[in-house]
Chains A and B, each alone.
Chain A
């Protein structure tokens, strides 16, 4: 075992342990806490072109109550079977025994030798892994730092203040679109909703094939799909009429990313067959696997990615390259009537990691139905939104042409002059352009006003001093800022964060647009979206309102499609 895998296994095991320990206290609540992962690499004295890497994983707060350290270390070592690294453990055992709160910080250190290129790749994979965790466990914060021969870089992964959708099993899905797609390449005024709106599918029980069973699991595996279009299709422009890509994210129990063998490429047969889960032809989509995944980006990488090519018969699809992305989250959870033991959860993780294809194939029909229905709902909303948008555009076009007809046909020079002057146009061509633009803007303004999503404001967000100073530092170093101001991606990157560059800077991106603490607290209270379990049985304070409003908006949009207006 080598590379990034040990890090992921250790982190997963820690989180499982953490969750089990806190299950009694706060069942269903989101895990909170902070982990610090640091890698210090120096040129190996024994091998050429090799770095000796010392990795420290430590808690930065009191989260690991009840951690029996020696037992934990033994379990970790058994998990990391074949891991040749030195593994050390330190903790304040004395304080642990006296700590009446029952919590203690800990620190785990292990050392490996790696090639520089391997280390670089591993770091990217680890960062993606951390990013994947925080989008479903948004209250966990990771500090990830790498120091190579004295050159230091650090990133913080957090999403605590971002809007989320609570799921029913103690995890939440971050709905800020910037985690999933790059900001669309058109004016900032055009994209006015920074959220995705997941539709949860019906949970289905997954059967374990006989040749794989034998773990003696005292529970069931439940698959819950969730799908969303990204960016939000409700407030759209012409360029978002088509779906250009599909991203699938796989999560196991407790919201831990499933680590499939050869993570970099989808090798599982079920993912190679693009129609395994969904009959794409039904939606006139021609889907091909996309193997070109760029690790070095700000977005959370999907486990499986597909490109959508325009189908032959569909000429109406906008051929612009930047369309929407269909996000599909597959959450596989483990439910049991009995208290779930840590090792049982770990076993489920392992089972899913090694036999995901077989498990899905065993319940293919149910899985396909659930996913198909979920995706169908999302695509239907998209279809309605597109039609409504087309209807709006058609109406505005009629309005503009009618006004132009009167204006250009008028024999009253004073009337024509007033028209031109009012819109500050020099000629009829310019007048037409401005007229169309004005109509477009006033119509969009209405959607902005009534949008139930968290709307990305064009105003600059409030900033505290710390943020301002770091922003100044950023400007000084000519580093690239992420687009947008509110709903920031939880991680921040240093430009060209190659391990070889001598950039020493840290910035803490504050989510929700770098708000002041009081504002952040308010946003935190407002931001959490109600859980949308399939039965919609759980609601929280102010919950259900946003998604109900969004569904109302979609419903309102469908009025575009009603035949014949009644004057």
Chain B
């Protein structure tokens, strides 16, 4: 058998190249990348000074015999979030706040935990070392109670100091995997090559990555690890080379219901970095269900919880490649492979349809309406009923070649 060159011929990517050109033109018309708002990278001395200012305020309150309190932006309130097409969901400049008081039974523990984590961050920044949120939780798991408490406080501190989490020397626990045409060097000098047969874990220090090199024609975000692994097994990266694919969830986290497919911060940062650096088209491959659509929206427009860092995380240029609800009918996917939507699914779908960004995505809205009308959902795995390698051999190549994205 003659050796088959990896990747399709150049004409395969014509539509993709046009799409990329269109994206670049849009960027140029929009005046380039929007200026980063909300959080900005801060130096170590700035972070230390900010924390010291907070401590001084606390002590000054006590000296006046007043109970000290922290004023925190209400990150998770829709009234504090606005939508911009070029950015996605981000916090308004003068948002409502809440007080974390030291003299209230409801909040004194939270007040103390904020100080505790501030002191941890202070030490990390001072010593120029890093820790993950999980590491911080385990410094006193009994005190914190659960990881969510730590995560929320870290986000609150990031919002309060107006610096991104990485400036606090707190790294996210990376859960994602990446594969394809990409090379880079980590901050510690480690050379990473994503073109190997097995995927590479997403770096914990995206900010420190340098010397990014890629020829990729597109970046594919895959919701589920199972699908990602299947594509790896089918040698998709080589067949569609040059390309990159990333999944936010490794097998371990995929097994957990909570956080299933939900993008972690580092994966989002990496996708953003690749977009900012190379402006390669980014596509999402998610299940045709409300959860999958929501994951896609997080990449594209951001989440409420992280809206204060939207400028550093969102990629509004992302397109929905599949699985589209309209594909189900078009491809005659057997009804036996479909799953009835639950009440929760319906509520989530209704909630997404009400979000501000859906109004500027009429095709997405239409797809969601098809889903809602049919009251059925489908996983990507449904395509295997057509043939075991239908996804990598037929579906994706056709979509990419003929512009089957919205």
Which residues of A come within 8 Å of B, CB atoms?
A: 388, 391-392, 395-396, 398-399, 401-403, 405-407, 409-412, 415, 418-419, 422-424, 435, 438-439, 441-443, 445-446, 556-557, 559-560, 563-567
B66 at the interface (CB under 8 A from A): yes
Q: Within the complex, which residue of A409, A424, A443, A564 is in contact with B102, where a contact is CB–CB below 8 Å?
A: A443
Q: Is the CB of B52 within 8 A of A415?
A: yes
Chain B minimum-CB-distance residue to A397: B112
Q: Is the CB of B115 within 8 A of A402?
A: yes
Chain B minimum-CB-distance residue to A556: B105
Chain A minimum-CB-distance residue to B111: A399
Q: Is the CB of B65 within 8 A of A442?
A: yes
Q: Within the complex, which residue of A392, A399, A557, A567 is in contact with B152, where a contact is CB–CB below 8 Å?
A: A567
Cα separation A415 to B49 with both chains bound (whole Å): 9
Within the complex, what minimum Cβ distance (angstroms) separates A403 from chain B?
6
Q: Which residues of A contact B102 (CB under 8 A)?
A: 396, 399, 439, 442-443
Q: Which residues of B contact A401 (CB under 8 A)?
A: 116, 119
B185 at the interface (CB under 8 A from A): no
> Which 4 pairs across A and B sit closest by C-beta, in order of nearness?
A402-B115, A446-B103, A438-B62, A398-B112
Q: Which residues of A contact B58 (CB under 8 A)?
A: 403
Q: Is the CB of A392 within 8 A of B108?
A: yes
Cα separation A555 to B67 with both chains bound (whole Å): 22
Cα separation A117 to B375 with both chains bound (whole Å): 96
Within the complex, what minimum Cβ distance (angstroms) separates B375 from chain A?
34
Chain A minimum-CB-distance residue to B75: A567
Question: Are A412 and B105 also in contact (CB < 8 A) when A402-B119, A403-B59, A403-B115 are?
Answer: no
Q: Within the complex, which residue of A402, A415, A445, A559 is in contact with B106, where a contact is CB–CB below 8 Å?
A: A559
Q: Which residues of B contact A402 (CB under 8 A)?
A: 112, 115-116, 118-119
B60 at the interface (CB under 8 A from A): yes
Within 8 A of A (CB), among B213-243: none
Q: Within the complex, which residue of A409, A445, A564 is in contact with B126, where a contact is CB–CB below 8 Å?
A: A409
Cα separation A409 to B52 with both chains bound (whole Å): 11
Q: Is the CB of B62 within 8 A of A567?
A: no
| 28 A–B pairs (Cβ distance < 8 Å), ordered by A | A391-B109, A395-B109, A396-B108, A396-B112, A399-B112, A402-B115, A402-B118, A402-B119, A403-B55, A409-B122, A410-B52, A412-B48, A415-B52, A419-B56, A423-B59, A423-B63, A424-B63, A441-B65, A442-B62, A442-B65, A442-B68, A443-B67, A445-B103, A446-B103, A560-B109, A564-B148, A565-B107, A567-B110
B149 at the interface (CB under 8 A from A): yes
Given contacts A388-B105, A398-B112, 18 further A-B contacts (CB under 8 A): A396-B102, A401-B116, A402-B116, A403-B55, A403-B59, A409-B122, A411-B126, A418-B56, A423-B62, A438-B63, A439-B102, A442-B62, A442-B65, A446-B103, A446-B104, A565-B109, A567-B100, A567-B156
Q: Within the complex, which residue of A391, A419, A560 is in contact with B55, where a contact is CB–CB below 8 Å?
A: A419
Cα separation A399 to B58 with both chains bound (whole Å): 10
B143 at the interface (CB under 8 A from A): yes
Chain B minimum-CB-distance residue to A388: B105
Q: Which residues of B contact A406 (CB under 8 A)?
A: 51-52, 55, 118-119, 122
Q: Which residues of A contact B156 (CB under 8 A)?
A: 567
Question: CB-defined interface of B35-68 with A at 8 Å, one 1/0 digit per residue?
Answer: 0000000000000110110011011101101111
Cα separation A423 to B52 with both chains bound (whole Å): 15
B145 at the interface (CB under 8 A from A): yes
B355 at the interface (CB under 8 A from A): no
Q: Is the CB of B59 within 8 A of A419?
A: yes
Q: Is the CB of A398 within 8 A of B115?
A: yes
Q: Is the CB of A398 within 8 A of B116?
A: yes
Q: Which residues of A contact B100 (CB under 8 A)?
A: 567
Q: Which residues of B contact A439 (CB under 8 A)?
A: 62, 102
B interface residues, tally (CB under 8 Å): 45
Q: Is the CB of A405 within 8 A of B62?
A: no
Q: Is the CB of B115 within 8 A of A409?
A: no
Question: Are A567 and B153 also in contact (CB < 8 A) when A396-B112, A442-B62 are?
Answer: yes
Question: CB-defined interface of B102-141 with A at 8 Å, one 1/0 digit per residue?
Answer: 1111111111111110110011001000000000000000
Cα separation A418 to B58 with both chains bound (whole Å): 12
Q: Which residues of A contact B68 (CB under 8 A)?
A: 442
Q: Which residues of A contact B106 (CB under 8 A)?
A: 559, 565
Cα separation A415 to B107 with both chains bound (whole Å): 27
Chain B minimum-CB-distance residue to A424: B63
Q: Which residues of B contact A409 (CB under 8 A)?
A: 122-123, 126
Within the complex, what minimum Cβ distance (angstroms) separates B122 from chain A?
5
Q: Which residues of A contact B67 (CB under 8 A)?
A: 442-443, 445-446
Within the complex, what minimum Cβ distance (angstroms) separates B135 from chain A?
17
Q: Which residues of A contact B149 (CB under 8 A)?
A: 564-565, 567
Chain B minimum-CB-distance residue to A416: B52
B146 at the interface (CB under 8 A from A): yes
Q: Is the CB of B59 within 8 A of A422?
A: yes
Within the complex, what minimum Cβ distance (angstroms) separates B57 from chain A?
10
Q: Is the CB of A398 within 8 A of B113?
A: yes
Cα separation A435 to B60 with both chains bound (whole Å): 11
Within the complex, what minimum Cβ distance (angstroms) separates B23 from chain A?
38
Q: Which residues of B contact A557 (CB under 8 A)?
A: 105
Cα separation A412 to B49 with both chains bound (whole Å): 9
Q: Is the CB of B65 within 8 A of A445?
A: yes
Q: Which residues of A contact B113 (CB under 8 A)?
A: 398, 565
Q: Is the CB of A563 within 8 A of B110?
A: no
Q: Which residues of A contact B109 (CB under 8 A)?
A: 391, 395, 560, 565
Q: Which residues of B contact A441 (CB under 8 A)?
A: 65
Cα separation A25 to B394 with both chains bound (whole Å): 100
Q: Which residues of A contact B63 (CB under 8 A)?
A: 422-424, 438
Q: Is the CB of B145 within 8 A of A564?
A: yes
Q: Which residues of B contact A388 (CB under 8 A)?
A: 105
Q: Which residues of A contact B62 (CB under 8 A)?
A: 423, 435, 438-439, 442
Q: Is the CB of A443 within 8 A of B59?
A: no
Chain A minimum-CB-distance residue to B60: A422
Q: Is the CB of A442 within 8 A of B119?
A: no
Question: Are A435 and B118 also in contact (CB < 8 A) when A409-B126, A446-B104, A565-B149 are?
Answer: no
Cα separation A424 to B123 with both chains bound (whole Å): 26
Q: Is the CB of A565 within 8 A of B110?
A: yes
Cα separation A396 to B111 with both chains bound (whole Å): 9
Q: Which residues of A contact B48 (CB under 8 A)?
A: 410, 412
Within the complex, what minimum Cβ distance (angstroms) separates B118 from chain A?
7
